[in-house]
Amino acid sequence: MRQGRTYLKKNDQVEVIAGKDKGRVGKILRVLRAKDKVVVERINMIKRHTKPTEMNQQGQIVEKEAPIHVSNIQLICPECTKTGRIGKKILEDGTKVRYCKSCGEPIESK
């Protein structure tokens, strides 16, 4: 499998544009570059059944976030607060930045 390139980073605000959670907004917790997926806070929740162990005397059902494909989410621009396409450019001082294609403002990750 070819490793994909993505413009998304940890702590970016994103909106889901396809799937069961369409329209919901969340923060990226992890980026899985090898699989072209990201884990978004409180999006694509699944239930995992755990068996009883020494530490955990009772089995339980744990809810956790499952990865979602990058094609199903879109970054929210912090300046214009709209979802949109993101580009990359090199500034005069030689640093690479991501920018919002609708408003033209650079996007810095927190």
Q: Please, what are the averages of pLDDT over each run of 10 residues along the chain (110 residues)?
A: 78 96 97 95 96 88 96 94 92 93 85
pLDDT value of position 45:
97
Domains of the chain plus CATH, in order, are 13-51+61-107 (2.30.30.30)
| Residue 70, CA distances (Å) to 14, 74, 105, 106, 108 in order | 10, 8, 22, 21, 19
Please report, as a single letter, which amino acid is at residue 47.
K
Residues in the chain: 110
pLDDT value of position 2:
62
Give ∠ CA 104-9-3 in degrees, rounded to 5: 110
pLDDT value of position 108:
82
pLDDT value of position 49:
94
pLDDT value of position 98:
94
pLDDT value of position 5:
77
How far apart CA 108 and CA 24 sit, in angstroms, is 22
pLDDT value of position 94:
93
pLDDT value of position 23:
97
Residues 6+ apart with CB under 8 A from 36: 4, 6, 69, 70, 71
